[in-house]
Amino acid sequence: MQKTIGLFSVVAVLLTGCGGSSNSEAAKDSNTTVAKDTSTSAPAVAAEPAPNTLSDKEKADGWQLLFDGNTKNGWHIFNKKSDGSAWKVDNGTLHMDPSHLKDYQAVGGGDLVTDKDYDNFDFKVDWKIADSSNSGIIFYTQEDPKYKDTWNTGVEMQVLDNAGHPDAKIIKHRAGDLYDLISSSPETVKPANQWNQVELISNKGKLECYLNGTKVISTTLWDDNWKKLIAGSKFKSMKGFGTFTKGHFALQDHGNNVWYRNIKIKTL
C-alpha cells in the first residue's frame, strides 16, 4: 500500500511538472501576442477643434474667426433696418428666429452682414436649415441706402431644404446653387436639420464653391460670360448686381429658421 502511494506521488509530480511547463509556454505565447497587438494598434486621431475656434494650424495660416460663438460682434443688420434681435446667439450658433414676421422677414430681423468688406478670400461657414426653409449666403454685397436688399448687389449661394421648399423645383434655386445663375453639380446637400459645410474661394475673379467637401461650382466673375449669366437671370435689371470686386458677407433672413456657425475667413 505504501509502495503504491509512493508510485502515485511520483506520477503526480511528473504530471505537475509537465503541466507547469505547458502553462509557462502558454504564458510566453500569450505575452508575445499582446506585444504584437500593441505594436500594430492604430495611431491616435487628433480631436476636431471645438466649434467657433481656430486650430493652431489655421492661426498660423492666417485664418480669422468672424463669429466667436458668444456674441454678434463684427455683425450688424443690413442698412441698420432693425435692432437685430431676431438673430440670436443660440448654443454656439447664429440663429434666425422668425417668431414674428413682417412681410417675408422677421420683426427685429433683416439680413445680417459683416462689419468689414472683403475682396479676395477663402471663406468657410456651416449651416443648418429647418424643414421647408430658405436662406442664403451672400457675398460682395454693397451697403448703401440706395440698395434695398443685400441681393441687389451681392451674389448668393442658396441655403435651402431641397426636400420641402418649393424653390427646389426651380432650376438654379436649389441648395448649393449660385442663385439664379449656376446650378451646383454634383448635389451634396444634407437633409434639413443636418449641418452642411460651405467653402467659398474667390481670388482675382476665379470663384470656387464647395459644399460638404466637394467642389460644386467653378466660374469666373466679371468676364463676358459672367455678364451673359446675369443678363439671363432675374437680376438683369438690378444695376450693379454682381459687378463689385469688394463687399460684405450677408446671412439671409428669409423668414425661416436657420443656424450658422464656424464662420471664418482667410484673406488672399
Q: What local confidence, expressed as pLDDT, does residue 225 receive?
A: 98
Of residues 3 and 145, more confidence is placed in 145
Q: Supply φ then ψ for residue 227, to 5 degrees.
A: -65, -35
Of residues 119 and 5, more confidence is placed in 119
In the DSSP assignment, the letter for residue 165 is: -
Q: Return all residues near 198 (Cβ < 8 A) that are at least 6 apart.
A: 123, 124, 125, 126, 127, 137, 157, 209, 210, 211
Residue-wise pLDDT tens digits, 166-195:
999 999 999 999 999 999 999 999 999 999
**pLDDT (average), residues 63-77:** 98
Q: What local confidence, expressed as pLDDT, does residue 5 receive?
A: 40
Residue-wise pLDDT tens digits, 210-248:
999 999 999 999 999 999 999 999 999 999 999 999 999
Q: What local confidence, expressed as pLDDT, does residue 49 receive?
A: 75
Q: What local confidence, expressed as pLDDT, does residue 45 receive?
A: 52
pTM above 0.85, yes or no: no
**Model confidence at 37: pLDDT above 50:** no
Of residues 36 and 89, more confidence is placed in 89
Q: Return all residues near 139 (Cβ < 8 A) that are at least 6 apart.
A: 118, 123, 154, 155, 156, 157, 200, 202, 247, 248, 249, 250
**Dihedral angle computed from the Cα positions of residues 143, 150, 138 and 225, in that order, rounded to the nearest 10 degrees:** -100
**Model confidence at 118: pLDDT above 90:** yes
**pLDDT (average), residues 29-39:** 44
**pLDDT (average), residues 189-209:** 98
Going by pLDDT thresholds of 50, 70 and 90, the confidence category of residue 103 is confident
**pLDDT (average), residues 108-135:** 98
- Any idea which of 25-39, 92-106, 175-189 has the lowest mean pLDDT? 25-39
Q: Which of 220, 252, 226 is nearest to 125 (CA)?
A: 252
- Any idea which of 8-17, 83-92, 126-135 has the lowest mean pLDDT? 8-17
**Model confidence at 12: pLDDT above 90:** no
Q: What local confidence, expressed as pLDDT, does residue 10 receive?
A: 35
Q: What percent of the chain has pLDDT over 70?
A: 82
**pLDDT (average), residues 49-58:** 93
Q: Which of 11, 150, 137 is nearest to 79 (CA)?
A: 150
**Model confidence at 28: pLDDT above 80:** no
**Model confidence at 255: pLDDT above 70:** yes
Q: Supply φ then ψ for residue 254, to 5 degrees.
A: -110, 20
Asked if 53 and 68 touch (Cβ cutoff 8 Å), the reply is no
Cα 237 from Cα 230, distance rounded (Å): 9
Lateral strand order in the sheet of 75-77:
75-77, 112-114, 248-251, 134-141, 155-160
Looking at residue 109, its amino acid is: G
Cα 115 from Cα 142, distance rounded (Å): 11
